[in-house]
Chains A and B, each alone.
Chain A
Amino acid sequence: MAAAPHRHPDQGDPDVRAAQEARLRQVWQPPRGLFLRWTDTNNNSVGTWYTLTAFGMMLFAGVLALIVRAQLAAPENDLVSASTFNQLFTLHGSIMMFLFAVPMFEAVSILILPQLLGTRDLPFPRLSAFGYWSFLLGGVFVGGSIFFNAAPDGGWFMYPPLTTEPELSGVGADIWMLGLSFIEVSSIAAAIELIVGVLKCRPPGMRLNLMPLYAWYILVVAVMILFAFPPLIAGDVLFELERLLDWPFFDAARGGDPVLWQHLFWIFGHPEVYIIFLPSIAIFAMVVPTFSRRHLIGYPWIVLAAVGTGFLSFGLWVHHMFTTGMPNISLGFFSAASEAVAIPTAVQIFAFIATMWAGRVVWSTPMLYGAGALAVFVVGGLTGVMVAVAPFDWQAHDTYFVVAHLHYVLTGGLLLPLLGGLYYYWPLFTGKKLSDRLGRSAFWLIFVGINVTFFPMHFSGLMGMPRRVFTYSEESGLHGLNLLSTIGAFVIATGIGMIILDMCLSPRRKLAARNPWKAGTLEWLALPRQENWGVRCVPRIESRYPLWDQPGFVASVDEGRYFLPDAEEGKRELMITSVLDAEPVQVARIGGPSVKPMLAAAMLGGVFILTTFHFYGAALLSGVAALAAILWWLWTGSGIVPEKPMKHAGNGVVLPLYASGPASSGWWAMFITMFADATAFGALMFGYFYYWTIHPEFPPKAAAGTNGPGWVWPVIALALVLTGWVLTVAARELNARGRVRFAQGGLVLAAVATAAGAAAGLAGPWFSGLDPTAHVYPAIVWVIAIWIAVHGVVGVIMQLYALARSLWGRTTPTHDIDIRNITLYQHFLAVSAVVGFITIGFFPEWV
């Protein structure tokens, strides 16, 4: 079919441009109305809500810390009881880590990533909204528990058996596990969104080596989230199975081991530190060049350092466990690895110093925060090297020395950079600058406050003050240092209050100029009165600092002379480009405002919250409702067949409107999700082999309920799951060759095989009478079988979904994204089944 010749619009004509702008404005306008405005999914709205909520969480956790400090201001103080104190510090740490630090990074990134990349939105705006609502619900649930005296009180690390023993820990432990698991799910959702955003939504010409450094950091950090959170989720699963059903994963009396939890927690917990710290460095990688008035020196060094930090951070977790009693070889290895992480950090710091040295530094409030952050962070980093040395850690571990260390790292590596970023990016979103006077006064209060609070803690720790004590004696000699720390904490709070005041005064100030800092990166294309469409048109990039280096760049963007300057079909559109070279590959239509993500989040939240209070029936109903909401959302919002195959994107570039397989963003999202899922499964398998290494006899001999599952059922299950996988692949191929009926038949058979495989997997432990409460061996076998079975059921739902899409004509031989994505899922399921069933069926026999 020959397309009609395309007439290029004349971008020089102001009337043409005005008409385009009117259409863009119409398409991208946010929903109005008391309720409907909350159904918005655009990154500007969701990012703003997200950021404000995370900021609110920080304030809340900060207030908790003030109460903690007030209690410790004097020896033998009785301002709060021991029980309240334990809830306070547990919640302070948990909220700062899970509800502030990580969500704040994701929130800010959702807000500014599209601007940085010159795109209009993120690839899955409804996923962002889903993530936000999950975060809000989970955050209120966990944080609010303290008002009912039901907050978790086992420390943010929740070491069993203190926390798994129902007599020692109340519902708070369940609130922590289930509430935060829910938030971890939303964190992973945001990470997927950000990775695909960075990889697939860059503007044409922005090859990987031209990406703004912030995007590199986002990529590294999001990938870290993907591999760090799943082990914790796996740990949460084991933890709740022990709490709710008495499966003895951490109970030493029945073969469990409390130390396994520590491994799973810190495999998450250590990367978490860098997940928090790298995004703040990323802010500085944007701020420093702007105020040094030159390109950053050492771009490749910084990228390597960020990637290197990401890798190394997964090899250090054991330094949190130096005192658990471990072989010397482990001590030496993990000491060395922990010290080594200082090297990429130093590279980043010196790259910034070199850039300032080479450039002409324009002093500004954001730079002041940067300088303060550097001073504080260097101290925290160096004490970090000290505690990486095992013999010193044996003294410092779990004392206030570590409290000092981690707060130097987190205030220097998170709080101050974030506040600097606030002063830097505030004009981008409000069009107005914050007050330099208030900002600098606040800085000095916070900076002095940080040092007054945390510096004395180095000494109180080495003088024998353990962490997490609600009181200390008069004779300990710790009174003066503690009083100083308390005073400092309130000084910090005053500074934070001043910043809040500054933000509140902002609406009364006048608009600043466009690009007020004279920066060189794409986000500063934004106008003081920002349009909801993000960028006027998607630019072509030839430099890391296009606003400085590409002549006439801003005018060309404003006049819509690049790509997608119009919304002629009335759809929200993004340019999808290739992963490495950012060549245009597709114009993707994305979802607009919708209530479905909010609904799905509420229903899924119901599952976690109702389970906390043991309302299992209601939780199940909520789960079914969540599934229905998600299916409804997908059915109506994804894989839509466009009205025409191709579209002129401007400048003579013609792009398809539909893509499937690796060209599409959906395929990448599925691929990345499955990596996270496989990591969680890997953590469970780690658990299996961990138990094997600590027990001379595993499985235990001659005990009732611990013999099984034999090899027959696992082999049958494996064969069935693999059959389902082969049939799904066959269905995809048949569909692509136009044999639609055969493909549908294949999907039916595949669903039957996968379902039978899931059932056969459970039949093994069931018929061999494995009793999961008797010993850890049957418990871990059951968990692996159930994990695969649940994934099998999800696989069946997907197969039936793809079948329905085909029957309703929404999947065709040329529009096959659904069937391609579920095939990807089946690949991972097949791998899980091979690893899982062979292990539980054969491993005990072989050894």
Chain B
Amino acid sequence: MPLVPFARRLTWTLAPFTAGCEGVQSTFSTFGVEAESTRALALIMGIGASLITIAVLLLAAHAVRAPEGQLDHRRGMRLILWLGAVFPTVVLSVLLVVSLPGMRSIASEPHDLRVRVDGEQFWWRMKYEQPGSATVETANELRIPMDRTVAIRLGSPDVIHSFWVPGLAGKVDMIPGRENELVVRATRTGVFRGQCTEFCGLSHALMAFDVIVMESKDFDEWLSAASQPATSNDSTGRRLFEEYGCDGCHIVRGHVQGTPIGPDLTHYGSRRTLGAGTVPLTAEATSRFIRNPAALKPGALMPRFGTMSEADADAIAAYLLELK
């Protein structure tokens, strides 16, 4: 696309002005092919819109000041025709043609990595599907390899959510009963963030996830490690985990084969955040969350364990954090 090199130069020129807009969850800090070309389009449109606004306002100011009769009826009609009808028609037609290629999705091949992501109130279920081997399930953290095409299939079992990683690509809704696909390709490694953008209930604001782009080789290593069962040796926490019935909703592969209602906790300790990108992952935050999830995330579906002693919660948290 000829647009992209041009816009890259433009982006570079404007960098000092947009520096304040960078961040782990910003459309200005791109790390994906689609987001990059959209940023280019946005910059061009933004500059064009600013110029048009200034021109219209200057023209209006002139019109107010101009002496009576400076413009006669015939020329007034011509002004309406050219500036009101012809000019926008031409500009918009050009804009449409320029933007059409951006509506096409990146092509994906059958052997590309496939990830299934489900939005659930208020977290993300990630499943890495590899042909020929078992599916690896994690939660609230999306890891993808750099420079490889990844097909992300999106759905939801409860209400509508929307999958948005601003630096990677535009958002796509997750709709019960439907499946959408988003094909992405990351261009640099790093830690980024995505968030739910379709209002989904009480903790809509607290439904985010980390996006980690890795070197292709590192990613493959990580995936094979992630497919391994849990490795913690903490037997107290593990016992309490079962006693309190945590396995009613959570799986820790290799330890407890629970029901997969809530997030898979097999490698919980290796995650960066707790509560779907809400707070940094620590033992203390985990312990507090276990006893009263709604204090951190209003409307969370995990029940409150009000009767659980602080010591028990700490023990379970310690166990979970050991699950690397």
Contact = CB atoms under 8 A, between A and B. Distances in A.
Given A159-B199, A258-B177, A463 B25 contact: yes
A800 interface: no
A328 B102 CA distance: 10
Contact of A161 (B35, B99, B159, B181): B159
Contacts of A350: 79-80, 83-84
Given A82-B299, A342-B88, A371 B177 contact: no
A389 B84 contact: no
A331 B64 CA distance: 40
A359 B68 contact: yes
Contact of A462 (B27, B49, B85): B27
A353 B195 contact: no
Interface stretch (A144-152, A374-382, A550-558, A725-733): A374-382
Contacts of B100: 332
Contacts of A82: 202-203, 205, 298-299
B68 A360 contact: yes
B52 A378 contact: yes
Given A339-B95, A392-B38, A386 B162 contact: no
A353 B197 contact: no
A383 B25 CA distance: 21
Contact of B199 (A155, A259, A331, A383): A155
B46 interface: yes
Given A356-B64, A395-B42, A343 B162 contact: no
Given A83-B298, A358-B69, A476-B25, A342 B169 contact: no
A312 interface: no
A395 B99 CA distance: 14
Interface string B28-64: 1000001101100110011001001100110110111
A389 B21 contact: no
B103 A335 contact: yes
B178 A252 contact: yes
B176 interface: yes
How big is chain A's contact interface, by range? 35 or more
Given A350-B84, A462-B27, A371 B298 contact: no
A343 B171 contact: no
Contacts of A358: 68-73, 76
A257 interface: yes
A627 interface: no
Given A154-B199, A159-B160, A323 B172 contact: yes
B308 to A, nearest CB: 24
Contacts of A394: 38, 169-172
B172 A325 contact: yes
B321 interface: no
Interface in B180-235: 180-181, 193, 195-206
A16 B177 CA distance: 77
Given A297-B77, A358-B72, A477-B23, A467 B199 contact: yes
Interface string A341-377: 0110011111101111111110100010001001100
Interface string A459-485: 100111011111110011100000000
A276 to B, nearest CB: 22
Nearest to B49: A382
B175 interface: yes
B79 A323 contact: no
Interface string A243-283: 00000000011001111000000000000000000000000
A385 interface: yes
Given A83-B202, A470-B205, A398 B96 contact: no
B134 to A, nearest CB: 28
B57 A353 contact: no
A809 interface: no
A346 B159 contact: no
Nearest to B160: A159
Contact of A471 (B25, B68, B206): B206
A298 B80 contact: yes
A81 interface: yes
Contacts of B269: none
B67 interface: yes
A466 B27 contact: no
A399 interface: yes
B80 A354 contact: yes
Given A86-B202, A392-B42, A349 B84 contact: yes
Contacts of B173: 323-325
Nearest to A348: B84
A358 B76 CA distance: 7
Nearest to B180: A325
Contacts of A159: 159-160, 198-199
A549 interface: no
A377 to B, nearest CB: 10
Nearest to A328: B103
Q: From B63, B195, B203, name the one whose CB has the most chain A CB atoms within 10 angstroms.
A: B63
A463 B21 contact: yes
A536 interface: no
A204 B269 CA distance: 83
A371 B203 CA distance: 42
A336 B92 CA distance: 8
Contacts of A395: 27, 35, 38, 42, 166, 170-171
A463 B195 contact: no
B111 interface: no
B204 to A, nearest CB: 6
A651 to B, nearest CB: 33
A455 to B, nearest CB: 12
A357 B71 contact: yes
A775 B80 CA distance: 55
B164 interface: yes
A162 interface: yes
A797 interface: no
A518 to B, nearest CB: 15
Nearest to B79: A354
B76 A357 contact: yes
A392 to B, nearest CB: 6
A259 B92 contact: no
Nearest to A254: B177
A343 B92 contact: yes
Contacts of A371: 60, 64
Contact of B204 (A332, A347, A389, A469): A469
Contacts of A81: 298
A161 B176 contact: yes
A391 B37 contact: yes
Given A259-B175, A382-B53, A353 B162 contact: no
B59 A353 contact: yes
Interface string A148-169: 0000001100010110010010
Contacts of A253: 176-177
Q: From B65, B67, B95, name the one whose CB has the most chain A CB atoms within 10 angstroms.
A: B95
Contacts of B159: 159, 161-162, 165, 168
B26 interface: yes
Contacts of A398: 162, 164, 171, 197-199
A694 B83 CA distance: 44
Interface string B106-120: 000000000000000
Interface of A: 81-83, 86, 154-155, 159, 161-162, 165, 168, 252-253, 256-259, 293-294, 297-298, 301, 323-325, 328, 331-332, 335-336, 339-340, 342-343, 346-351, 353-361, 363, 367, 371, 374-375, 378-379, 382-383, 385-386, 389-395, 397-399, 459, 462-464, 466-472, 475-477
13 contacts: A86-B202, A258-B177, A297-B80, A347-B80, A357-B63, A358-B69, A358-B73, A374-B56, A378-B53, A386-B42, A390-B99, A463-B23, A467-B199
List the 4 shortest-distance A-B pairs measured between CB atoms, nearest first: A394-B170, A252-B177, A469-B205, A464-B25
Given A253-B177, A323-B162, 18 more contacts: A252-B177, A325-B173, A342-B88, A348-B84, A354-B63, A357-B63, A361-B64, A371-B64, A385-B95, A389-B41, A393-B170, A397-B197, A462-B28, A464-B27, A466-B205, A472-B205, A477-B20, A477-B26
